[in-house]
Amino acid sequence: AEAVVEPVAEAVEEEEEEEEEGVELEEITYQGTVYYRDPEQYIYSVNEEGEVSEDPVGYWKEKTKNIAFYNKK
C-alpha cells in the first residue's frame, strides 16, 4: 500500500510547484510604471526589491489597452 501512496504525494507536490513557479508573466509598462501580466490578464505590481506582488493589483483590459485597478481596502 505504501508504494501507491508515495507517488500520489509526489504528484501533488509537483503540481503545487508548477502553479507557483510555472506561471509565465509578461512585463508591460503602463503610464511609466512596470507591471507584470499573467496569461489570465491579471496585473501584478513590483516592489522596491524588484519582487512581483503575490496578489494581483488589477486586470488588463485588452479592448481599451489599460489596467482596471482593484480598489485598495
pLDDT digits (tens, 9 = 90+) for 2-59: 444 445 444 444 433 333 456 799 999 999 999 999 999 999 999 889 899 999 999 9
Element containing residue 31 per DSSP (H, E): none
Helix, strand, or coil (residue 46): strand
Q: How far apart are CA 47 and CA 52, in angstroms?
A: 7
- CA atoms of 47 and 72, how far apart (whole Å): 16
pLDDT at 61 over 80: yes
Decide which of 6 and 64 is more confident.
Answer: 64
pTM of the model: 0.66
Any idea which residue has 482593484 for its cell?
A: 70
